[in-house]
Chains A and B, each alone.
Chain A
Amino acid sequence: MSAKDRRLAELRGSIPEIDPIDAAALQARGAVLIDVREPDEIAAGSPVGAERIVRGFLELKVENAVPDPKTTVLCLCAGGVRSLFAAEGLRTLGYEDVRSVRGGFNRWKTDQLPIEVPARLDDDARERFSRHMLMPEVGEKGQLRLLESKVLCIGAGGLGSPVALYLAAAGVGTIGIVDDDVVDRSNLQRQIVHTDARVGESKVSSARETLTALWPKANVVGFETRLTSDNVDEIFGQGWDVVVDGSDNFPTRYLVNDACVKHAIPNVHGSIFRFEGQATVFWPTRPAADGQRGPCYRCLYAEPPPPELAPSCAEAGVLGVLPGVIGLLEAVETVKIVLGIGKPLVGRLLTYDALEQRFTELQLEPDPGCAYCAPGKPFPGYVDYVQACAAPAAVAAATS
């Protein structure tokens, strides 16, 4: 008997083996199946829902996938041999119930158990997103989630510029942009996704140029239109995971809110005025398992201000750097929501005062009587508010 055969006989004596069909049943009840084969083997298929950790890195990486040593772990390779060694390694590490799948993936396939061809990062993505991959909170799985995610940005202006730029950099695969405007030279003080050479060009196409220059594979879906009650359902109904509101007027903000409530999409909200900004996440349909439901925009402000009481838009002015601060808070929240990590800014309003360099957190409560987001109410329909922006003269009179 060769040394290898002797060793295998020893392992078969100490590591319990399990048939693929029973392994699949255990997996369905919470056991973790680890496919320890090499990436080129896995590329051709792997059991559905398996963790995939190559044998050579198994001991180093297993704790991220299986934090609790009491979890039942099932090791699988191609034929059921390497998985014996893998199982022994995990046992030595302290995992109490480790089994080896008899016959490995070959039997798994013959027994017609469910397999999938796992999505994989290509070489470019592997290099580009390597700093994400190093963090267990993101890793390859998280990066794949970002690549598959779809985020709709309302506006490619002060807020939308840093949001879209960083989302593309982070690898958000599909970025929608709604904007009917063209680039003006006075935009460039803060709208960093545009360039001087593109003054006069549509903001959507200008933004697309910058985003794809940063990451050629970014899929930028443009909507060169103004959001109205007529087109909002068509635009919002395209499977977006998150909507980021970077609009500049009340009619659009209320449409965005109402459509996000209707389509159950988290609404990452930011707004700016001169030296001050606010950010929060409106997500009243957030799954209850994740915590208490948050408010929507209407829970806070049921109606927009009438024109005579709204601050003038054109005259307001804004510190050019400010939308960068608020936009990046929105981008951070967006990435967290896509990855499902951390504590989203739900039920909390973060206000920022650039002059004081001060952040303040205020608690937001859902309004149980909210006409839009209170549970069990029929959707009341969209409202096309008239742009509630005071004429400069009226503001001058009101503020003098």
Chain B
Amino acid sequence: MSTATIRIPTPLRSFTGGADEVTVGADTVRGALDALGERHDGLIPRILTETGEARPFVNIYLGSKNVKTLDGLATTIADGDVVSIIPAVAGGRS
């Protein structure tokens, strides 16, 4: 099992008690998200659909790469990897 850091975007930090990073142990990106969800209730439905796929307005990155361009959520992770959750953000004018 590898230890990875998950970066939590501001809109979802209310689910992690304000934490901007959560460190988890897992073998894959999906495993990392599962571990995150076990610790922080209500967060995963914001990121994944009921069938466990990334929602269309959320992208998940491993390092600088979108996991879509790798093996999706099955992408394996190594020690020290950074998983970023990047939701669509609209703000700007107001």
Measured CB to CB, the residues of A under 8 A from B are 154-160, 179, 181, 187, 245-250, 252-253, 270-276, 278, 300-305, 309-311, 313, 316, 318, 323, 326, 349, 351, 353, 355-356, 360-365, 388, 398-399
Would B84 and A360 count as touching, CB distance under 8 A?
yes
Given A274-B10, A355-B20: A323 touches B92 (CB 8 Å cut-off): yes
Question: Is the Cβ of B91 less than 8 Å from the Cβ of A273?
Answer: yes
B25 within 8 A of A: no
| Interface pair B90/A249, CB less than 8 Å apart | yes
Contacts A365-B66, A399-B15: A303 and B57 contacting too (C-beta < 8 A)? Answer: yes
Chain A residues with CB under 8 A of B56: 301-303
Contact status of A351 and B91, CB under 8 A, knowing A303-B56, A362-B61, A364-B66: no
Q: How far is the CB of B89 from chain A (nearest CB, A)?
A: 4
B88 engages A300 (CB within 8 Å): yes
Structural contact, B90 and A250, CB atoms closer than 8 A: yes
Query: Could you show 8 A-B contacts with beta carbons less than 8 Å apart?
Result: A156-B93, A304-B57, A311-B11, A313-B94, A326-B92, A361-B64, A363-B65, A398-B42
Q: Which of A181, A247, A276, A356 contacts B92 (CB 8 A)?
A: A247
Closest beta carbon of chain B to A365's beta carbon, Å: 5
Indicate with 1 or 0, residue by residue over B59-89, a CB within 8 angstroms of chain A CB atoms.
Answer: 1010011101100000000000000101111
By the criterion CB–CB under 8 Å, are B64 and A362 in contact?
Answer: yes
Interface residue tally for chain B (C-beta within 8 Å): 28
CA distance A275 to B10 in the complex (A): 8
Q: Does B39 contact A (CB under 8 A)?
A: no
Chain B minimum-CB-distance residue to A361: B64
**The one of B14, B57, B69, B84 that contacts A301, using a Cβ cutoff of 8 Å:** B57
Contact status B93-A305, CB under 8 Å = no
Instruction: Say yes or no: A305 contacts B57, CB within 8 Å.
Output: yes
Q: In angstroms, how far is the closest chain A Cβ from the Cβ of B72?
A: 13
Contacts of A187 in B (CB 8 A): 94
Min CB distance B78 to A, Å, is 18
A303 contact set on B, CB distance < 8 A: 56-57
A-chain residues with CB within 8 Å of residue B61 when the two chains form the complex: 362
Closest to B66 in A: A365
Taken together as a complex, chains A and B put the C-alpha atoms of A234 and B90 apart, in Å, by 24
Residues in A whose Cβ lies below 8 Å from that of B94: 157-158, 187, 248, 313
Residue contact A351 to B14, C-beta cutoff 8 Å: no
Contacts of A301 in B (CB 8 A): 56-57, 59, 88
Contacts of B86 in A (CB 8 A): 278, 349, 351, 362
Inter-chain CA distance A175–B64, complex, in Å, is 34
State in angstroms the CA–CA spacing of A309 and B54 once bound together: 13
Q: Is the CB of B93 within 8 A of A276?
A: no
Residues from chain A with Cβ under 8 Å of B14 in the complex: 399
Give the distance in Å from the alpha carbon of A375 to the alpha carbon of B68 in the complex.
20
